[in-house]
Structure 1
Amino acid sequence: MSKKRVLVTGAAGKVGKVVVDDLLSHGYDIFAVDRDFKEDPGVPHMTAELTNFGEALDALSSTGVDVYGRAEMNAFDAIVHLASIPHPREVSDADTFSNNMVATYNIFESAKRLGINNIVWSSSETLLGIPFEQSKIEAVPVTEDVKKYGSSTYAITKVLGEELAEQFCLHNPEMKIACLRLSNVMEDEDYKQFPDYQKDPNKRLWNLWSYIDVRDAAQSIRKAVETEFKGMDTFIITNDDTVMDTSSEELVKEYYPNLKINGELTENQTLLSNEKAKRILGYQPQHSWREFV
């Protein structure tokens, strides 16, 4: 049996590079797509501007080292769509909206036309109401069923991207789109700043002190590729712990005294629940910042 083929957009990015390596290490055949490769990813790849529908369709039609499309072949078993402007205010709001929405539409529509029905898309914790000190959440741990609340243009593109995913799946009962609401992604280098958070918890108040190690983000994406279901579904992806040494219960009581605590919180338990991702995807975080500081 041939290897399963997966196309990864945003493959040169912070998460994309690790996703490519993770999928390769688990036996997948990878085709990498990005608008700007600063280094050779070591796999078949294409530079493409995904806000251009023709380029998106061309990329998804690729069949390996030979990047020319073959209409008689279903080129990919799955698409991992990570390409986006990754942070609020990195560029103008209008450019963020235009880039993220058009690129996401182009990938979903190209996949539909090519009969590729397994899509994993990087949504974001931001649509849960970040910054949380200004949000409308009523209880922790926060789960996937809270009302979406995009307080930045970036977050709004994630809200609308999930709506777009739902519509594509409604019109194609064979399509699956897993929307992974990734928390703030951390690499080893980022953990050097964590001791400063202990001195001032306000620095991470905005996302309830949550984070996701980039390797665990990659694991969640692979698990989402492998999990079989139909339709659109959403999953919060965080590590099991917060960025703080202070217990989660103490943090909530001091900084969010009006929030209800559902159940009992373990010592440093994440306040953005990853229970659904564990239960349905089989996701199990393997890395904690405490190993590196």
Structure 2
Amino acid sequence: MEEGTTRCRNCDTPLDGLYCHNCGQREGRGDLHFQEAVTDILGDVFTWDSRVWRTLVSLLFRPGFLSAEFNAGRRVRYMPPFRLYLIVSFVLFLTLSLMTDYVVDFGDASDDAVEVSISLDSEDEATAEESESAQSEAAEAPSSLTEALQARIDAKAPLVRDDPGGYVRELLEYLPQVMFLMLPVFALLLKLAYLFSSFHYLQHLVFALHYHTFVYLLYLASMVLEQIAMYVDGIVALPLLIYLPLALRRSYASSWPGALGKSLFLMISYGAALVLGMAAAAVAVLVTM
């Protein structure tokens, strides 16, 4: 066999198979005909396509299977969890940005309710201002940071009253960042739930990526079904309740009582963390509007 056919054309490493073990390049001629090039491209596309379908089917219908496969070292046949999360989250948040009315509908009927709410808030603000005035006279060193933040929020309140839909659109722009930052929080809660196990934080983070990707896909499906006038609230809530304990049981080899107990812990603690995260985002949007 000639020297040129036994060494990698990219890094000159001796070959032992179809792919170079040093750089990963596939061995092949540089003077491919058009038909051969098309065949290679289609082969790569269908290989990638099979990985996508295999990954999505496993994620949707085999809770915890992908995380268990990752922990077992069987990873090449599936899409990388981080890439999968990025693709699905991009599609979800792009869809949300194009369908703001799906998330919240500020129609004419709700404008009155908003005005009443702002009116009540204004009365509360007046009372609060009187109270603050009395307190400022008695206190020599008030919290300037808290007062500055409150003043900023009070100044921005009319903007929310005049354009509540714009406020929601601004808040939606923060949503991808908030949810991305919540991933390590969810992984940390998993670490606490399995504190005395042999699982590492990275494995918990992979589970968090898979679980959030499933939730995003479910939410996307619910939006599609809503557009064809199907009632899906209960249908969506049920898989969310069932999926997590099933995934924990398969990924971590938990017993049923353990999986159910840890699911309850995660739902409560992560729910509280989500509320805090979204509240912080809501304040940040209001202050920066």
- Whether the TM-score (by the shorter chain) exceeds 0.5 is no
Higher strand proportion (structure 1 or 2): 1
TM-score, normalization: structure 2?
Answer: 0.22
TM-score (structure 1 length as normaliser): 0.22
Larger radius of gyration: 2
